[in-house]
Structure 1
């Protein structure tokens, strides 16, 4: 079984990272003093923003933050993946369960029987609900 949801999520995270990396490294941290400035130089003006609150929002979501967020999302996906992908031994009863959601009971039954129903992965996918390929079923808690 292929993990279409994980592949799609990785593609979205990769696009976020590529976008952030297009900004030169010295300009990836933004500050605000009436004008958005990048890097450590006070001469590097990113752009004027005329929409109320937009400048503050941009500064709080600078490229360095986008890169940190991409790394964190990848870590979450590395934890919340198919059991068969973890064990490397497909053919088991719980191959498609979410290993990251854990197991319970005397028989160690999976908490989430199918990784595509994992609430953590649904939360990650919801961030990208406006992008092509998003599936409405991923919005379920």
Structure 2
């Protein structure tokens, strides 16, 4: 059995990638979403098959799900409204959305999910290192 202090980092990355791909699949369902969801299923099955990744690392799906809304919120930080930028030759304008409907859930998922994974991994490692007085 693998204790919490020896769990591989790749298990967290695997499950976080599943979360990112599920988020991308839902958002882009009419274009690349089907391929992203298919890859997410393949990675999830791989994560369930490999014994080292069947742990609290699976909760890394939550921060993975929050990455896409966080990126969309950060890219709309100047919004809502029209944002224009000028160079010597050109002037470009873009219509920006309000960032808050994207930033808040993204931050809650990324920060809350990371805290939850960190807390549970730490709890399991404390339990694994505790002496057994049977």
Question: TM-score range, shorter-chain basis?
Answer: 0.3 to 0.5
The answer to which structure has the higher helix fraction is 2
- Per the normalisation by structure 1, the TM-score is 0.34
The structure with higher relative contact order (CA 8 Å, sep 6+) is: 2
